[in-house]
Amino acid sequence: MGIVPLAKALELAQEYDLDLVEVAANARPPVCKLMDYGKFKYESAMKAREARKNQAHTVIKEMKLRPKIDPHDYDTKKGHVVRFLKQGDKVKITIMFRGREQSRPELGYRLLQRLAEDVQDLGFIESNPKQDGRNMIMVLGPHKKKTEAMAEARQAQEARKADAKANPGKSQNAAETESHEIDEIHEIDEIDEIDENNVDTEAPAEASAEA
């Protein structure tokens, strides 16, 4: 449109029922744009919302085990680790030693290696087992990126919604089962979310863990 007087620009905005918005105040002369400012704000908010929805927040889950863990408890803990890795989250595995167990660090090391092998299809050892006081720590990283896991989760949710519309009675039973599973997860107080910055990811020598 070129350079026009302010009065003329305001007249054009009123004629086309648009807003006169200044987009470059420091330019000489200042640059303005005719637009529907309300629509612009709405579209900007929707884009920001969509960006937040697709944003991947890196979270580290923590799972605590004992060196002489019961087989059933081990399977339960492993199941949670599998779920975390499928969600694209890292998992910090902590072996807690008590009493005389502190003189047998190899028990914890073997348990961590066993767990890593059991979930190797879903994750890898990002930080090798390291003794930290009375604990031994290992960090597992997922093969799947967080964004990929989120996309798959949304697709699964949409599939469940479609199935719920097609089978109303079946969807109610599924909802009750899911609610029961969530209640069980909340009862497990040893699963925590921690800040990734608090995790020491230095890879120790394996020989020290086998000592």
The string of pLDDT tens digits covering residues 7-49 is 888 888 898 899 988 988 888 888 999 999 999 999 999 988 8
Q: Token pair of 66, please?
A: 């004992």
Show the CA angle centred on residue 14, arms to residues 10 and 16, nearest 5°.
120
CA–CA separation, 123 vs 140, rounded Å? Answer: 6
- Please answer whether residues 16 and 9 qualify as being in contact, where contact means their C-beta atoms are separated by less than 8 angstroms: no
- Which H or E element spans position 204? none
CATH of the domain at 42: 3.10.20.80
Evaluate whether residue 114 is within a structural domain: yes
Same domain, 76 and 122: yes
Burial class from Cβ neighbours inside 10 Å (0-12, 13-18, 19+) for residue 123 reads: buried
Could you identify the residue written with the tokens 């979930």? 119
117 & 205 share domain: yes
Higher-scoring residue by pLDDT: 149, 116: 116
Domain that residue 38 falls in: 6-54
Per-residue exposure over 32-63, b if at least 16 CB sit within 10 Å of its own CB, e if not: bbeeeeeeeeeeeeeeeeeeeeeeeeebbbbb
Mean pLDDT, rounded, for 96-103: 90
Nearest to 108 by CA among 63, 77, 65: 65
The string of pLDDT tens digits covering residues 102-139 is 889 999 999 999 999 999 999 999 999 999 889 999 99
Answer yes or no: is 77 within a domain.
yes
Is the pLDDT confidence value at 201 over 70? no
Residue 150 resides in a domain: no
The total number of structural domains that make up the chain: 2
- Is 201 found in the same domain as 118? yes
What is the reported pLDDT for 175? Answer: 52
Q: Would 109 be classed as within a structural domain? A: yes
* CATH code: domain of residue 69: 3.30.110.10
Over residues 38-63, the mean pLDDT reads 82
Distance of CA 84 to the CA centre of its chain: 9
Residue 29 sits in the same domain as residue 132: no
Tens of pLDDT, residues 153-179: 777 777 788 777 777 765 555 555 555
19 plus 77 within the same structural domain: no
Q: Specify whether 194 is located in the same domain as 108.
A: yes
Q: Is residue 75 part of a domain?
A: yes
Instruction: Name the pTM for this structure.
Output: 0.51
DSSP-derived letter for residue 140 is: E
Q: Is residue 163 part of a domain?
A: no
Please check whether residues 191 and 98 belong to one and the same domain.
Answer: yes
Residue 140, Cβ neighbours under 10 Å: how many?
26
Does residue 10 sit in the same domain as residue 92?
A: no
**Token couple for 105:** 């660090």
pLDDT of residue 184: 41
Assess whether pLDDT exceeds 60 at residue 80.
yes
- Per-residue pLDDT band for 206 (boundaries 50, 70, 90) equals very low
- Are residues 190 and 111 located together in one domain of the fold? yes
Q: Is residue 175 part of a domain?
A: no
CA atoms within 13 A on the CB side of 70: 3
The reported pLDDT for the residue numbered 180 is 47
Q: Does residue 113 fall inside a structural domain?
A: yes
119 lies in the same domain as 204: yes
